[in-house]
Structure 1
Amino acid sequence: MKNLTITLPQETIARVRVAAAREGKSMSKFMAEMVEKRLGQTLTQREALAAFLAGPDLPGIAAERPAREDLYAERLLRRHERDAVSEGPTGAAEAGHRAKLDRRAKRA
Structure 2
Amino acid sequence: MPNLTITADEQTLQRLRVEAATRNLSVSRFVGEILKEKFGEDDAYERAMADFFSRQPYLEPAARDDGRSWPTRDELYDRQVLK
Q: Normalising to structure 2: TM-score of the pair? A: 0.50
